[in-house]
Amino acid sequence: MIHLCDPFEINYKFTITNYEFKKVQETSEQYNFDFHRETAEIVRDGSEELKIKIGEFAGPLDLLLFLIKQEQANIFDIPIAKITQTYLEYIQMMKKLDIAVAADFLVMAATLIEIKSKMLLPRDPKAIGEDEEFDDPRQELVDRLMEYEKFKSAAGMLYERSTIEQAIFTRGPIESDENNAEVDASVFDLLTVFQKIAARHVDEIKMEIEREEISLADMIKSLKARIFEFGEINLLEFFEEMRSKRELVTAFVAVLEIVRTETVRLLQKTTFGDIVLKKV
Amino acid sequence: MEEEVQEIERTPRSPAELMTIVEALVFVADEPVNSRVLADVLDEDRGAIEAAMEELAKEYEAREGGLQIRSIAGGWQIATRTELHEEVRKFLKTRPSAKLSLASLETLAVIAYKQPVTVPEILEIRGVQSATSIKTLLDKRLIVAKGRKEAVGRPMMYGTSKDFLIQFGLRDLTELPSIEDFEDLVS
Amino acid sequence: MEEEVQEIERTPRSPAELMTIVEALVFVADEPVNSRVLADVLDEDRGAIEAAMEELAKEYEAREGGLQIRSIAGGWQIATRTELHEEVRKFLKTRPSAKLSLASLETLAVIAYKQPVTVPEILEIRGVQSATSIKTLLDKRLIVAKGRKEAVGRPMMYGTSKDFLIQFGLRDLTELPSIEDFEDLVS
């Protein structure tokens, strides 16, 4: 299913003739496009034939602006009936192509139909006169379109700027950079990092649950068995065998317990050398 | 020995000396350097640093070499000249990076001009959900969270980042043309 | 289209042009560049490249600027002039340190979301020792001690500081993005 909510992120391009279509291009993630050349296109030639290139509208307002331009209509006097019809045709087309039409496009369709029906209502005779323009059901839509188009133009400006910037390169890495192999951070980095740690932690907890916990009694038992078998145990090596913090603590307590109750001694053969647990 | 003497009673640096030093520092910095930082490190007047940088930029300009001095994101930077992009790209074996989608560019434009701005406010202007675009822009570090709005649900507010200035070649946000300038284009 | 035409009947580059181009290439390179590599990329004679580099090195020498062209490890490189090492070192040392290593960032994230939190608790969550990171964060004043926990050994508890709020552009801790804010964007 293709979602139209963000058509460009999918970069779908269709060519439709007589409601037959050919998928021209399908790529995900990568989008190299020309802001000015690759605008959407709906071509109506004479007959019932309808050619459409879709998937390149950034939203319902974008589509609407396009349709108004296509009709060469004045934005301040939108032929609402005609525009609504084309807009709905476009939505129909989407459905025929089995493209999930984003809710935002449907909301706009509803708005257009509502405006259209309001336009058909007989006007309140009292309202005719100076207030007439005030009551135009299209006014709110016009305002939104005008506001939206400013940002669409600004997006074009940003596109130009980024194109120019891509032609400029900064120096390659130098030795001193390595002292600074660090990352910039924003609050979202904090959150992302925290989520990653949490996920990692969940994995570890799962692993711990899967393992059987060794009780202190069992630990003492196995430790005793080993001492009596080998005569002595390297404590560091013994501790390193422990697979979790909890096991380590248990092992440590077990050692203390054995030293207290049994005839074993803790020995350090050399200063800073390994500590050995030895049968007396 | 000599160095020590210099350290104690440093003779004031000549403008030419200062140009030499700031050129080296701007080169080693891994991002645009603010003249205040340079002034602090060198214990010089900020005005003197600015003057040295301006002079250096002029010198680079006149030299017509492979490099240029740019004032960007509130700092100074050495970079290659635009005209050489083809050769540089061929050498680095890089291709122009994937551009932002139309939807992301629009979202970025709204955020740049309306910041700090919330997701519902962006929806209001664009008429379409912008979550995917906002995620992309956050991932690319072009926008940052700017606290929460004191409104129902306390939504996050977004604004542009320093990376935005760098990637779009802007000294600061005031360098953006006014949004009203785009109005003329509309009708 | 244009590129193709250029590719086929490229007018030979003048020595000055070549100097400009190699300067840009040596500048962007991530290690000293061999003249053979440059010759290959630019489809030029190796002798011409060597000549351009020699000429460029001479120009840098005569200019007495902050940079020099060095022939090192069989390649060419742009570097700061040796005489300026003191200023360069001082500058590199005092670079604003708003940056954090990944380890410190992780530790900071845990402290920010779990505060007040003790060192053993951080170890528990991160699964690795965080002592160095905690020291860094304390040095950068991003975290502060928040008293001792009433538990075995009475370990010190840590929380984020006022500087943390300032550096991350937050008014208070409730402005930290929550998991929900993030889910809104990825859904």
Give the 3-state DSSP-derived string for chain C, with helices as H, strands as E and coil as C.
CHHHHHHHCCCCCCHHHHHHHHHHHHHHCCCCECHHHHHHHHCCCHHHHHHHHHHHHHHHHHHCCCEEEEEECCEEEEEECHHHHHHHHHHHHCCCCCCECHHHHHHHHHHHHHCCEEHHHHHHHHCCCCHHHHHHHHHCCCEEEEEECCCCCCCEEEEECHHHHHHCCCCCHHHCCCHHHHHHHHC
Predicted TM-score (pTM) of this structure = 0.70
Above pLDDT 70, what percent of chain A?
A: 63
Distance separating alpha carbons of residues A85 and A64, to the nearest angstrom: 11
Distance separating alpha carbons of residues A149 and A58, to the nearest angstrom: 12
Tally of CA atoms within 13 A in the half-sphere of C178 that contains its CB: 9
Six token digits for residue B130: 């912008």
> Which tens digits make up the pLDDT trace of B124-171?
999 998 888 999 999 888 999 888 899 888 899 999 999 999 999 999
Q: Is the pLDDT of residue B64 over 90?
A: yes
Scan for tokens 């122009």, then name that residue.
Answer: B96
Please report residues of C whose CB lies closer than 8 A to that of A200.
127
3-state secondary structure of B17: helix
Residue A215, C-beta contacts closer than 8 angstroms, at least 6 positions apart: A250
**b/e code B48-81 from CB counts within 10 Å (16+ = b):** bbbebbebbbeebeeeebbbbbbbbbbbbbbbbb
> Which tens digits make up the pLDDT trace of C142-160?
999 999 988 888 899 999 9
Six token digits for residue B171: 């000294």
Cβ-defined contact of B82 to A164 (cutoff 8 Å): yes
Per-residue pLDDT, B83 = 94
**First CA to last CA across chain A, in angstroms?**
76
Per-residue pLDDT, B71 = 94
Per-residue pLDDT, B18 = 96
Single out the residue of B126, B124, B113 nearest to residue A6, CA to CA.
B126
Grade residue A268 by pLDDT with cuts at 50, 70 and 90: low
Cβ-defined contact of B103 to A146 (cutoff 8 Å): no
Please report residues of B whose CB lies closer than 8 A to that of A159.
99-100, 105
Grade residue A189 by pLDDT with cuts at 50, 70 and 90: confident
Find the largest Cα–Cα distance for chain C. 81
Interface test with B, best of C5, C19, C27 (most B CBs within 10 A): C27
Per-residue pLDDT, B70 = 95
Per-residue pLDDT, A208 = 57
**C-beta neighbour count of B8 within 10 angstroms:** 7
Here the ipTM equals 0.77
By DSSP bridging, strand A2-3 and strand A99-100 are parallel
Please report residues of A whose CB lies closer than 8 A to that of B99.
31-33, 159, 162-163
Per-residue pLDDT, C40 = 95
3-state secondary structure of A17: strand
Per-residue pLDDT, C181 = 75
Distance separating alpha carbons of residues A123 and C62, to the nearest angstrom: 84
Six token digits for residue C113: 């979301």
| Cα of A44 vs its chain's centroid, Å | 37
Chains that touch A (3 or more CB pairs under 8 A): B, C
